[in-house]
Structures are given as C-alpha cells and as structure tokens.
Amino acid sequence: MAEKHFPYEIKNVTEEEDKLVKQYYKGYIRPFIRVGPHGHFSMAGYGDHAAEIYNLEVRPDDIWVLAFSRSGTTWLQELVWLLKNNLDYDGAANTLLTKRFAFIEYPTMSSEINQGPPPSGKSGQATVDDFSNLHTLPSPRFIKTHLPLSLLPPTLLDTAKVFYIARDPRDVAVSFHFMHKLFRYFDEGVQFTEFWELFKKDLLLHMPIFPHIEEAWEKRDHPNMTFVFYEEMQKDLRGVIDKVSLVLGKEYTDEQKDKLAEHLNFNNMKKSSAFKFGKDDKDSEIKFMRKGLSGNWVKYFNTDQLKREAEEYMEKHLNKTSLRFPEA
Ligand code: A3P
C-alpha cells in the first residue's frame, strides 16, 4: 500500500518531560509525542495512526463534533444528534452516545502495559467505532474527535458539517483534572496544583488548548463550521438549538425546541443512566457529569499564586487572538 501523506513531524517530548509525565500517566512505555504545527501532545500510539487519521475519507453528509476534552463535547453531541435525527428521544435513550458517534482517535490512547483502551464509563467502552472502521459505517456518520483541526483530514471543512465547542480553559483545567482520575489516567491523590503545573507546560493529553480552539475560531465564518461556546450553551441553550437547527436544515416548533432544551438541561442529563458514571459518593467530583458550571474554576485556583497564574495564562494567550470567552 502506498505510504499515506502526513505533512508533520512526529517528535518525542524531551527525556525530562517524558520522565515527568510518566510519574502521572501510568502504563505507557514509549515516549510521549508532540505532533503538528502546535505540538499537540499525545501518546505514542497516536503517532502510529496520525497519517491514517489525516487521510480518512470525509463524506459530505458526515457530521463531525470537535472539541478539546471537557469542553462540553457530550452536551453538543446529544444536541446535534437529536436535531439531525428528528428528535428521536427513544433512539437516543436506547443507543449509547458512544455507539451513536465514532470517537476516531480513541484506541490510539491505549496504554502499552495494560493493553486495551483506557478505562471508560458505564458501558465500559468510550466508543464502539473509530478510525479503523469508519469507512464501513453507513451514512450519515456521526464522528467525535478531540484532535485539533490541523491534524484532521484537510478536506474536512470543505466537505462536511463541523460543530466545534469551546470552553474557558480554566474551567476545562479543573474538569480535566477530575476526568484524569475518572478515566484512571491519574491516581486519585494527584492534587490540582500538580495538574496545573502540567497544564501550563502543555504536558497533558490534547494540549495545547489555546491553538486547538483558535484553529476552529479562525474558521468560524466558514459555511460548514458552527462554532459555539460552552458558556453560550449555558446562557442561551435555545439560541444554540436555533443555530444548529438552521445549519442542519431542520425546522422545529417552539414547543419541540423547549422540550429539547429541557432534555439537555444538566440535571436531566445527569439523571440519565447513559451519562451517570463515576464515583457513587455524592460529594465526589470524580464523575462524568460533575458540576456543569461556568466560572467555577475560581474555587480551585484558590491561592493568590494560582489566581495570578491563571490570570497570566489567560492574558498571555488572549493577547495574541481575537477569541474571547463569553462572561460566565
Ligand atoms: P464539569 O466537569 O465542569 O461538570 P466533555 O463532554 O467535553 O468531556 O465535557 C464534560 C463537561 O461538560 C463536564 O463539565 C460536564 O459536567 C459538562 N456537561 C455535560 N453535559 C452538560 C449539560 N447538559 N449541561 C452543562 N454541562 C454539561
């Protein structure tokens, strides 16, 4: 088979960085890598398949949902799927979201010691389909990825509809910290301050976050790109429902849209057995549907130093872009 074209170098992180991250990410043998124009951090397994993913064939009727992890991907997936599927609540209830969407790069994140994909939620599987069998799936395909646009097929945006959700990186950092424990990437004892050190150095899965969002933000006016903010969904879910309906060419009554907004309400989604996974203990934050709030990061950046660092982090990145997160 002809070698697939992949325009980027796949580089190992430095030995020092690798030593540091392996104190946290357990079970990985090969060095962690950085790929692409912004040094996307990942497990070596992604490097094995980066070219294959970059060369996936995109279909015009595909629906792609893109996001940095913990930015509201699941929330947007549920919204998009229901709007596209004529509000088929039974279908949604009877088929896990992990089956309705192919999470393309998921198996590339497997640990090399424990084998198999990283542990996941209630179904025990974070996805049923992925890049390896995507070509076999019937249309329309629903595809989820946490990869940045630059590492996805270059034909993507000119071919298929893309939905991107962005969230304030400080709220993402907090949620990502608990997600690392939920999916057992990290031990439960790891403190937020330790996690934040890795976050600042982009030594976490999918980092760096700002270029991830900016790549999509720069394409926000492309007719196939629908860019939404988590904070916007919090404040004006009905507005986002209207926006996505229009893009999908669907018309629903106000009553139908109200019902969908109710279905997508945090407390309602939280009750659903499909999304209810994580620690049973009601006070534990190691849960998939954890808090569902915007601006709650202030509770975790709870020392003067952390507060200052969060401010500096945001300033440094926002200085270089027109991207602004809506007020929480
Ligand atoms: P928190 O950990 O802050 O609660 P993703 O799906 O990208 O992994 O994002 C998960 C985050 O989205 C979690 O954030 C989760 O609670 C939140 N979320 C999921 N469904 C939501 C909803 N219906 N309303 C508000 N937040 C939601």
213-222 residue pLDDT tens: 999 999 999 9
pLDDT given for residue 1 in this prediction: 55
Strands (E), the chain: 10-12, 33-35, 40-42, 63-67, 102-103, 142-145, 161-166, 225-229
120-148 residue pLDDT tens: 555 557 899 999 999 999 999 999 999 99
Q: Biggest alpha carbon distance in the chain?
A: 58
Read off the pTM. 0.96
Is the separation of the CB atoms in 191 and 23 below 8 Å?
A: no
**Distance between CA atoms of 62 and 101, rounded to whole angstroms?**
11
Is the separation of the CB atoms in 126 and 120 below 8 Å?
A: yes
pLDDT given for residue 181 in this prediction: 95
At the second CATH level, the architecture of 52-318 is 3-Layer(aba) Sandwich (3.40)
Residues with CB under 6 A from ligand 1: 67, 69-75, 171, 175, 178, 264, 266, 269, 289-292
Compute CA 117 distance to the chain's CA centroid, rounded to the nearest angstrom. 17
**Distance between CA atoms of 160 and 61, rounded to whole angstroms?**
6
pLDDT given for residue 117 in this prediction: 59
Compute CA 181 distance to the chain's CA centroid, rounded to the nearest angstrom. 16
pLDDT given for residue 279 in this prediction: 86
Show me where the domains of the chain are located: 52-318
CA of 68 to the centre of ligand 1 (A): 12
Residues of the chain with pLDDT under 70: 1-2, 114-124
| Closest C-alpha to ligand 1, atom 9 | 70
Is the separation of the CB atoms in 317 and 202 below 8 Å?
A: no
Please calculate the CA angle 103-106-107 and round it to the nearest 5 degrees.
130
291-306 residue pLDDT tens: 999 999 999 999 999 9
CA of 237 to the centre of ligand 1 (A): 14
pLDDT given for residue 283 in this prediction: 86
pLDDT given for residue 319 in this prediction: 96
Is the separation of the CB atoms in 107 and 132 below 8 Å?
A: yes
Nearest atom of ligand 1 to the alpha carbon of 179: 2
pLDDT given for residue 91 in this prediction: 96
The CB density around residue 183, as the number of other CB atoms within 10 Å, is 20
Nearest atom of ligand 1 to the alpha carbon of 67: 7
How many residues can be counted in the chain? 328
